[in-house]
Copies of this chain bind each other. A is one copy, B any other.
């Protein structure tokens, strides 16, 4: 059974859970906003379904929620932040604020952060830059779930990229994507349905193509080999090395440039890994458009670019060409009025968290 929950009530509940760990009110609001925004946009894998992991992380010491991020290196257009194993959302918010201020003063703000935790959807931070009238880019490395071309071990993350660009008539351009073929959640769907997944999504423990999602997930959890493929799939025939390359681009700009962790050093919790810092790293870039071209011209060109794509002839059998962000804007509006859909297991996990943390559970 799917329940539809008002997003403001949901946010209040999530804030209260975070507040139960003693963090500041404004920080709890950021964390709740970040998770609920994902649900509103139709990205439930990064929404309140993940609250369990944050709560467990704070409880077992992987996340140190009272730690505030610290600037370790700074210049007018650049900064490096040490997240001090704090909440990824707070590290991301702090770094993005800094990137925005720098862009407003110098035209560019590039901020990298190390020693952070999972920061939710990359699009939360680019939305902040968009709200400030800037062009925004955000990336993060993640737990290694992706196998490099010709490999059989998960060494690289699903390393997402988000880019936003302001428009006038149309909705803003809003890219927010992982650099793997599919997220892990897609494998879980096929596992639950006990169906063959499409060839080209993942490889088995020998590094060979498989359609057995259950087997792949089992191997992934035990780290026995196999995992998700980079965008472009297996081998070189469909450009899998390109997806692998873009994932490395993200990791170099996040993990290496921040002086932090990268590849299979990130967010790997083995049997003895309880309480071990996740060491996630992020990259943020804000650009002040007027430094490059008049805002008016930029927005007109964005609108025209979007029009050209949307008005272009469709493939036979297709009704619509999408531009990135459209689907999420439409779901956002839908969920704002219908409520955020919560599946039974997610609803139950929130209820259990409420009990554990002594927080009132009033979503209806």
Contact = CB atoms under 8 A, between A and B. Distances in A.
A308 B153 CA distance: 11
A130 interface: no
Given A77-B108, A135-B257, A320-B150, A179 B242 contact: yes
Given A135-B257, A155-B312, A292-B80, A165 B252 contact: yes
Given A108-B108, A153-B313, A231 B242 contact: yes
Most chain B CB neighbours (cut-off 10 Å) among A135, A239, A252: A239
Interface in A240-263: 241-243, 245-246, 248-249, 251-252, 255-259, 262-263
Nearest to A182: B239
Nearest to A320: B150
A312 B153 contact: yes
B252 A151 contact: no
A297 interface: yes
Interface stretch (A90-98, A298-306, A342-350): A298-306
Given A151-B314, A238-B233, A239-B181, A289 B251 contact: no
Interface residues of A, number: 86
A37 to B, nearest CB: 19
A238 B237 CA distance: 13
Given A106-B75, A259-B297, A302-B252, A315 B208 contact: yes
B313 A149 contact: no
A292 B80 CA distance: 5
Contacts of A73: 291-293
Contact of A149 (B231, B258, B322): B322
A241 B315 contact: no
A198 to B, nearest CB: 6
Interface in A281-323: 287, 289, 291-294, 297-298, 301-302, 305, 308-309, 312-316, 318, 320-323
30 contacts: A73-B293, A75-B106, A75-B291, A77-B107, A107-B110, A108-B108, A148-B321, A150-B314, A150-B320, A150-B321, A152-B312, A152-B314, A173-B248, A173-B252, A175-B246, A177-B242, A181-B239, A182-B239, A198-B237, A207-B316, A231-B243, A248-B305, A252-B302, A255-B305, A257-B298, A258-B292, A259-B294, A259-B298, A262-B301, A263-B309
Given A80-B292, A107-B110, A245-B324, 16 more contacts: A77-B77, A78-B292, A80-B293, A106-B106, A148-B309, A148-B321, A161-B249, A163-B249, A175-B248, A175-B249, A177-B239, A178-B242, A231-B239, A256-B302, A259-B294, A259-B297
Interface of A: 73, 75-78, 80, 106-108, 110, 112, 135, 147-153, 155, 161, 163, 165, 173, 175, 177-182, 198, 200-201, 203, 206-208, 225, 231-233, 237-239, 241-243, 245-246, 248-249, 251-252, 255-259, 262-264, 287, 289, 291-294, 297-298, 301-302, 305, 308-309, 312-316, 318, 320-324
